[in-house]
A and B are shown apart, each in its own frame.
Chain A
Amino acid sequence: MIADGPIPLRVHDIESLSPSLKRFSLTALHGGELPTAAPGAHIMLTLRGPDRVMKNAYSLVSPAACRDRYQIIVRHVAQSRGGSAFLHQGIRPGDVIEAAPPVNLFPLSQSARKHLLIGGGIGITPLLSYLPLLKARGARFELHQISSAEDVGVFERLLAPFAPGQEIRIHGGGRGAFDLAGILSRQPLGTHLYVCGPRPLMDAAASTAAALGWPPGKVHKESFGEAAGGLPFKAILARRGIEIDVGETQTLLEAIEATGIAAPCLCRGGACGECRLPVIEGEVEHRDDFLSAEEKAAQSAVMTCVSRARSARLVIDF
């Protein structure tokens, strides 16, 4: 089966894992099996709030073999842009949510001899989808989860089913007590690194790995577009002759979508490159992982899902 159109899902169950974490189980509205989602995949949910429509991407935490439901874990963040607050407060079991078919931008390497998994906070979610497959294959892996002190208990419970006999560690002292360079320097040849978490953790992991001689092809990052806000600016869609106000808590992509125009997008986290649009005028503040340093310096394209304008106006060829 090739999934292309949106998938209507029914909220089957909502479990509270901690004061700020909830696990949502979503089943197919019309029954039957859902499209297979390989470990590391995410789904984009269309959340119809009272005053606006939000599209947020969430990693699936359910095993790939599980076709009767998709599970996601959502953290309610204090400075939420709306999506996580809406899921936590506005969604009840039985509600219907529309999802785009699963997409995987964070797959496990098939040639790795060992998998080193590093999660920061809620960045644990894609790693949770890896563990059933790694266990089933008897693959060699090591997992480090960085956590605030209050979240240690919930992460311990989530990882407990996979923990016996495995190298799984939860670091409750935050980033400071975590010896990233020590861990990266002792990994055997053929190790692949997967890191998901806040931007500073992913940047530190990537730069430390590079400094220790890891080739770029063995370092995998999954971002979740956490730094979306910034100064407001005006976006001008040149082909359509439209001027749009992009607010402080809104992404450029969301502002375009709010006018009813369907703009290209896929991951909504600056990773896949799908939302790239050419820039005619204005300065871009690049926040994506897709464009190369040269492309960013050229200021000729913008990833609308995460990047913003540094100038007051940004003219886009769209």
Chain B
Amino acid sequence: MTDQGIKSRPKYQRLALDPSGRHHLLLIDGPALSSEAADAGFDIAACETWIVIRRSAVPPEPILAEAPGAIRPFRSTAHLFSALQDRLARETMGLRIYAAGTEDFLWDIHGIADQAGMSRQELRFCHVGSKARRIFCVHCRTITAGVKTSIVACSGCGASLFVRDHFSRRLAAFMGVQVDAEAPGEVPDAEEIYA
């Protein structure tokens, strides 16, 4: 059940610098790049790096350099996403984005980059951290976040949803389908498999 053989399930790779890029922006869901997210030779100094520190006491911002080697801290992912939208609106062609974090983080960035007209050729993602999933209920359209189990109660309509590997890049969520649609009440036990 951990690999359902579904092609839309995203595959990730350790980050490697794309030498064809002109500017490199590294986005990290955490205070630093974990060793499992990038090759040993990954040259972080070639990137402008944005980190999420999840603290209110963000160091006072000097005049922030938008340059390789600069590191810019954010209070939260929402804070980073908002700045990313503004930044991409005035970026020029040649940018490459590298992101390391949970799937929620990666695919929210994908959505912002897509809105700015970036293609998959300009993005590199590595999934690190929690395997918890965002589940889209195909019956009531509600998204339930942080799902760690094979079956989950929809936070919108309460249906017992089977968590599929079927992934929507547009919604940045996995598909959840009512597990007892054929035989009402027959709900298998939920197993924690997306820790």
Contact = CB atoms under 8 A, between A and B. Distances in A.
Interface of A: 111-114, 184-191, 209-210, 212-218
Interface in B20-43: 20-23
Interface in B111-169: 116-119, 121-122
B94 A113 contact: no
A190 B20 contact: no
A233 B90 CA distance: 54
Contacts of B70: none
B4 interface: no
Contacts of A210: 20
Interface residues of B, number: 18
Contact of B91 (A188, A217, A218): A188
A111 B114 CA distance: 9
B136 to A, nearest CB: 23
Contact of B20 (A187, A191, A215): A215
Contacts of A185: 92-94
B121 A189 contact: no
A1 to B, nearest CB: 32
B119 A215 contact: yes
Contact of B92 (A189, A217, A218): A189
Contacts of A184: 93
B118 A213 contact: no
A216 to B, nearest CB: 7
A197 to B, nearest CB: 20
Contacts of B92: 185-189
A114, A213, A217, A218: which has the most chain B beta carbons within 10 Å?
A213
Nearest to B20: A213
Contacts of B110: none
Nearest to B91: A189
B21 A213 contact: yes
Nearest to B118: A189
Given A113-B116, A189-B116, A210-B20, A216 B121 contact: yes
Contacts of B20: 210, 213, 215
A218 B92 CA distance: 13
A113 B119 CA distance: 11
B46 interface: no
A81 B24 CA distance: 48
A189 B119 CA distance: 10
Contact of B117 (A112, A186, A209, A212): A112
B94 A213 contact: yes
A212 B121 contact: no
Contacts of A187: 92-93
A215 B95 contact: no
B179 interface: no
Nearest to B23: A213
Nearest to B22: A213
**Most chain B beta-carbon neighbours within 10 Å: one of A111, A190, A191, A217:** A190
B133 to A, nearest CB: 27
Contact of A213 (B88, B96, B117): B96
Contacts of A191: 93, 117
Nearest to A111: B117
A291 B84 CA distance: 38
A215 B121 contact: yes
A127 to B, nearest CB: 19
A134 to B, nearest CB: 15
Contact of B119 (A212, A213, A217): A217
